[in-house]
A and B are shown apart, each in its own frame.
Chain A
Amino acid sequence: MTNERYLVATYFCAVALGVLAASGCALLVRRSLAELTRVCMPTRSGRSLRAGVPIGLVLSCLLGLVSVPYINSCSGRPTYQEVVADRSYLTATSHAMVAAALSNLIYALLGFAMLIAVLLAAHARRTRRRT
């Protein structure tokens, strides 16, 4: 396999892996999130939150993937030819892409969990006022 083909293969594998990880996370929290928003937020905003979480997870993952540059003058590879010439650099960069995607996914999950915590607090306040 030539280095150019290797670059294409590792790049799209990294993107597929990142999107798969985000979709898996969205699937794992989907049911409990739907139940939570149904109880705490039985309005249209609850439905939009339910739809927004998977989109947010996939977008944050894609943001991490595209934030890692291949052509980097700081690492001594300012041209495409120099990037393609080094296979170990290609492997390391694709690893860095997936790592950045996973890191962004963690931030997004923690952000959504905080949002849900605020929602639960507001729900508890509402139910207390009613009783």
Chain B
Amino acid sequence: MDINSIAILATGVGVLALAAWVFLSVRASLVALIDQLVRLPAATAFFSRVFMLCLTLGAAEKILESRTELGPDANFMEGVWKVASGVGDGMETLLILLLAFLGMMTVLVAVLAGRRD
């Protein structure tokens, strides 16, 4: 296995692990929030699935976009920098997706909680 394949594999594992971590950290509170707001199990399932899909697709997109063209005599740290750069791009995408989703949930809370009061 050459250094480029190892770098792409490490980037993929890193970005997917980050996506899983973000999803697992937010999921429980997101489900509770939607349950409390809407009281429709279908809405909870729909939003949590869309959130999971967006994170997974965002991670897959960044893995596909990450390209490494290191030579066979590349140093170990050059590979590490490539992986860090790929994981950084993935983090950026996950952060944007998280913010977009939280923004949507905030609007939903503002509209529905305001009506309930």
Contacts of A98 in B (CB 8 A): 64
1/0 contact string of A87-120 vs chain B (CB within 8 Å): 0000010011011001101100110111011001
The answer on a CB contact under 8 Å between B53 and A39 is no
Within the complex, what minimum Cβ distance (angstroms) separates B60 from chain A? 6
Dominant SS among interface residues on chain B = helix
The answer on a CB contact under 8 Å between A33 and B46 is yes
The answer on a CB contact under 8 Å between B46 and A36 is yes
Given A39-B40, A116-B43, A117-B107, decide whether A29 and B57 contact each other with a Cβ distance below 8 A: no
Pick the interface stretch among A4-12, A75-83, A121-129.
A121-129
Dominant SS among interface residues on chain A = helix
Task: Kindly state whether residue A28 has any CB partner on chain B within 8 Å.
Answer: yes
Q: How far is the CA of A102 from the CA of B112 in the complex (A)?
A: 31
Within the complex, what minimum Cβ distance (angstroms) separates A20 from chain B? 12
Q: Which of A20-74 contact B (CB under 8 A)?
A: 21, 25, 28-29, 31-33, 35-36, 39
Q: How many residues of A contact B (CB 8 A)?
A: 31
Within the complex, what minimum Cβ distance (angstroms) separates B110 from chain A? 10
Binding site for A on B (CB under 8 A): 38, 40-43, 45-47, 49-50, 53-54, 57-58, 60-61, 64-65, 67, 97, 100-101, 104, 107-108, 111-112, 115-116
Binding site for B on A (CB under 8 A): 21, 25, 28-29, 31-33, 35-36, 39, 92, 95-96, 98-99, 102-103, 105-106, 109-110, 112-114, 116-117, 120-121, 124-125, 128
Beyond A36-B46, A99-B61, A124-B111, 20 additional contacts (C-beta under 8 Å) are A21-B57, A25-B53, A25-B57, A28-B49, A29-B46, A31-B42, A32-B45, A32-B46, A35-B41, A35-B42, A36-B43, A92-B67, A105-B57, A106-B97, A109-B54, A110-B104, A113-B46, A117-B104, A120-B108, A120-B112
